[in-house]
Amino acid sequence: MTSGGIRRSFTAWAALALASFGGVAQADPSPYQLNMERGASTWSQVPYDLNNISLGVCVVIGILVFGAMFIAMFRFRKSRGAVAEKWSHNTMLEVVWTTIPVIILIVLAYLATGGITSWSDTTGSQMTVKVTGYQWKWRYDYVDYLGKPISKVGFMSKLDTQSDQTRQLGSGMDPYAVKVGDENTYLLNVDKPLVVPVDTKIRFVITGADVIHSWWVPALGWKLDAIPGIINAAWTNITVPGTYRGQCAELCGQDHGFMPIVVVAKSKADFATWLAEQEAQSAAPVAAPAAASTAAVPASAQSAAAPATAK
Amino acid sequence: MSHAATHDQHDDHHGAPKSFFQRWCMSTNHKDIGTLYLVFALVMFFIGGSFAMLIRAELFKPGLQLMQPYFFNQLTTMHALVMIFGAIMPAFVGLGNWMIPLMVGAPDMALPRMNNLSFWILPFAFTLMLSTLFMAGGGPAGGWTMYPPLSLQSDSLAYVVFAVHLMGISSIMGAINIIATILNMRAPGMELLKMPVFVWSWLITAFLLIAVMPVLAGAVTMLLTDKYFGTNFFNPGGGGDPVLYQHIFWFFGHPEVYIMILPAFGIISEIIPTFARKPIFGYKAMVFAIASIAFLSFIVWAHHMFAVGLPMGAEIFFMYATMLIAVPTGVKVFNWVSTMWGGSMTFETPMLFAIAFVILFTIGGFSGLMLALVPADFQYHDTYFVVAHFHYVLVTGALFAIIAATYYWLPKWSGRMYSEFWAKMHFWNSVIWVNVLFFPQHFLGLAGMPRRIPDYNVAFANFNMVSSIGGFLFGASQLIFLGVLIHGVWFSKKKATDRVWEGAKGLEWTVPSPAPHHTFEVPPVIHDDELAHGHVND
């Protein structure tokens, strides 16, 4: 790296350190990102705050302990004529440095316990999405929305073609050229994203079809394993419309690094429109045989009703 | 030392056997077996390290340049297995073999023939495991944790399972030997609470090994029968549960983590008092802290599993239990600092590595505390933040302690002083590049880069390149170590004194340098003043 490069890096670090610690909400990884993102859901603030608080505690303790070490290394050198003392006990000191960490830990544990409690409460959700991990793609099935079952809206979501071609060994293609707009989406884009509404408590039921995967979108603040034979539940309530990217977080075989997750959060009205289109699409091929036409009617009626209930 | 008092029927009292085969393959001598363990660990360290170099080379920039993803997964899996079971653990057993009899005034290990067997199993175990890399279908690629169902997809499962069984047998025998030696072979006057902290740490570690290696053996045997004999322990299709494996594995796995760090605590607790020329602060607290960490290691395993969907009560319990470990660990760090305070310090290479250990291991402890907080762990879990964390505790923790111990005791082993200049070159290069290597990985994890991926988004490119450069230079720095060792064993002109270090205390420094083939055939007369921790109750 040239000295100019180093200088530029430091400028970028400084700028991003400000951005990271100054509370600017950011989504998706950015170059030289130093800290966890704040996220875009009602709960994602919890891990972000815990991360910052515990980091702060560690930095303070670190400065005290390492500071004492460096003072000791400077003051008590044989080369400065230091003569070793003989003591090897100080009960008062030992009691103090056992008690203070305990108090700090109790405070951290209290904060974290609150976070676990709120995360574990999946009751009162207004929508359910089933997530299934496959080697090496995700499947999303919409189960219900606003108390009504959704029929036959479900699809596979896998790595987009451009990333997939670029990532092949010896493709000669440039990962920096994989873009959507200004954003580099190399290995973080899919052919068909999960679309969800904002300001809705969404319950995810997560399972695996073959091996264990883990469904992780950093902006939602959590990851949860997708395990064959087990159905895990978690929830989110996204507050800001946008596109949120994540990846599989549990080693699941050769293409573990190539099964991203993209969540598109739309306004409730836009989501209702999208859902209606999906239901119409899935109903259309089935509706062609005469026998199925009756089934298609309630589905479209429901999607027509959805926008009204949404706003 | 008089040979007249010995009653053994062996003919090797007069020195090591002349024949190479007899000396090294048929050895029952704790020093030679200790050397074998250490050399084996060094070889494995370079093999595992070369896997790491390949991993960092592929991760140097985005896009796949060097290898297919499946081979990358084999490398990450093998890197971990080789480093954990081949480098770190045998290195500690080697140090224990060499030093425990010398430190407690015993003539040899309690069970010398078993000692030979427990070492000689290892080369076969690792030949078996590493050979899979050259077979059709390749080596294990499901991670060193071997989670089913993924690990059941591997063609090399049987090889790895048998290799793990062999390593487990070796470890259990080694542990039995160490316990038998420490409890039965101490010289009169070497009371338990006068033993070096290193001996204490190994005693406790050995109990951990005996407790958990059979659990690992059971877990991998169930994998084997699931794959080849139609059982369904972990197959949900047959009523099994993949998460059951994780519980069993981590019931082994977390004590295993401490098996790799407790002897390091012991080493650091010997080195710092020597170079501070001051007795260790709070000897009993240090021993008690090791024992409490060992106990807690059995009740924290599920903190590796916060993202599997545990019930809320379990997450809270395992979080609290994990956070509790910070207390005894904190006590140890504070005591090391207090030992330095008021001392008369010099900074030879063992001390430099020990000081780096205290600082960098503590940084690994800090990220460990952050990882214990369940909601934050939902973000950290399985990211590079975790990779940074466990490399801080294992590389700058366990490995730095092993290197410190090597420099500390090498003059006793070889009778020659190593080159202090080149050892310091090794230290400064290691300590700088290891941080360039692992510190940016915290940032990568926080920004959202998962572990065990061969390729990544361009947003992660900068820190990955920094990390790779650090990795290559850290790897290259270890060649200096190799050079210092070769020079210090065979070529150095500077003879070591018996005491070696001005402030060194303990029985191992009362024997000549190099330590003769047989020592303490007659139990030494113990003077508390000569022991590092002879006046604990003062």
Per residue in B174-199, pLDDT (tens digit) is: 999 999 999 999 999 999 999 999 99
> Which of A51, A218, A248 lies closest to B376 in CB terms?
A51
Q: For residues A205 and A232, is the Cβ–Cβ distance under 8 A?
A: yes
Q: Is the pLDDT at A309 greater than 90, yes or no?
A: no
Q: Quick one: what percent of chain B has pLDDT higher than 70?
A: 97
Q: For residues A132 and A208, is the Cβ–Cβ distance under 8 A?
A: yes
- What CA dihedral angle connects B326, B328, B332 and B337, to 10 degrees? 60
Sheet strands side by side (includes A242-248):
A194-197, A260-266, A242-248, A213-217, A222-226
pLDDT score at A164: 95
The question of whether B269 is a catalytic residue gets the answer yes
Measured between beta carbons, the chain B residues lying within 8 angstroms of A37 are 447-448
Q: Quick one: what percent of chain B has pLDDT higher than 90?
A: 93
A79 touches chain B (CB under 8 A): yes
Q: Is the pLDDT at A132 greater than 50, yes or no?
A: yes
Q: Which residue has the tokens 């997964």?
A: B73
Length of chain A: 311
Secondary structure of chain B: what % helix, strand, coil (to 5)?
70, 0, 30
- Reported as a pLDDT band with limits 50, 70 and 90, residue B333 is very high
Task: Report pLDDT digits (tens) over B32-61.
Answer: 999 999 999 999 999 999 999 999 999 999
Q: Which among B37, B258, B392, B418 is annotated as catalytic?
A: B258
Beta-carbon-side half-sphere exposure of residue A250 (alpha carbons within 13 Å) = 31
Instruction: Work out how many CB contacts closer than 8 A connect A with B.
Output: 306
Asked if residue A175 has a cis previous peptide bond (ω within 30° of 0), the answer is: no
Q: Which among B303, B391, B412, B442 is annotated as catalytic?
A: B303
> Which of A55, A105, A112 lies closest to B375 in CB terms?
A112
pLDDT score at A185: 93
pLDDT score at B122: 97
Measured between beta carbons, the chain A residues lying within 8 angstroms of B65 are 169
A284: number of Cβ within 10 Å = 11
Q: Is the pLDDT at B92 greater than 70, yes or no?
A: yes
pLDDT score at A9: 52
Q: Is the pLDDT at B1 greater than 50, yes or no?
A: no
- Reported as a pLDDT band with limits 50, 70 and 90, residue A151 is confident
Measured between beta carbons, the chain B residues lying within 8 angstroms of A136 are none
Residues B178 and A175: their CA atoms lie apart, in Å, by 54
CA distances (Å), B519 to each of A70, B23, B511, B515, B534, in order? 40, 17, 7, 7, 21
Q: Is the pLDDT at A251 greater than 70, yes or no?
A: yes
Report which of A243, A237, A234, A239 is spatially closest to residue A262, judged by C-alpha positions. Answer: A243
- Reported as a pLDDT band with limits 50, 70 and 90, residue B7 is very low
Q: Is the pLDDT at A292 greater than 90, yes or no?
A: no
Residues B254 and B80: their CA atoms lie apart, in Å, by 15
B114 touches chain A (CB under 8 A): no
Q: Quick one: what percent of chain A has pLDDT higher than 90?
A: 72
Rounded to an integer, the average pLDDT of A210-230 is: 96
First-to-last alpha carbon distance for chain A, in angstroms, is: 54
Residues B424 and A150: their CA atoms lie apart, in Å, by 68
Q: Is the pLDDT at B464 greater than 90, yes or no?
A: yes
pLDDT score at A53: 96
Q: Is the pLDDT at A263 greater than 60, yes or no?
A: yes
pLDDT score at A2: 45
Residue of A nearest to B443 (CA): A34
Q: Which residues contact B43 (CB under 8 A, 6 or more apart)?
A: none
Task: Report pLDDT digits (tens) over A166-201.
Answer: 999 989 899 999 999 889 999 999 999 999 999 999
- Reported as a pLDDT band with limits 50, 70 and 90, residue B531 is confident
pLDDT score at A286: 53
Kind of pairing between the strands at A222-226 and A232-236: unpaired
pLDDT score at A308: 38
- Reported as a pLDDT band with limits 50, 70 and 90, residue A82 is confident
A205 touches chain B (CB under 8 A): no
B334 token code pair: 């504070």
Q: Is the pLDDT at B361 greater than 60, yes or no?
A: yes
Q: Is the pLDDT at A239 greater than 80, yes or no?
A: yes
| pTM for the predicted model, two decimal places | 0.91
Task: Report pLDDT digits (tens) over B104-141.
Answer: 999 999 999 999 999 999 999 999 999 999 998 899 99
- What mean pLDDT, rounded, does chain B reach? 94
> Which of A76, A77, A229 lies closest to B236 in CB terms?
A229
Nearest-5° angle of CA A52, CA A53, CA A55? 65
Residues A293 and A283: their CA atoms lie apart, in Å, by 9
The question of whether B35 is a catalytic residue gets the answer no
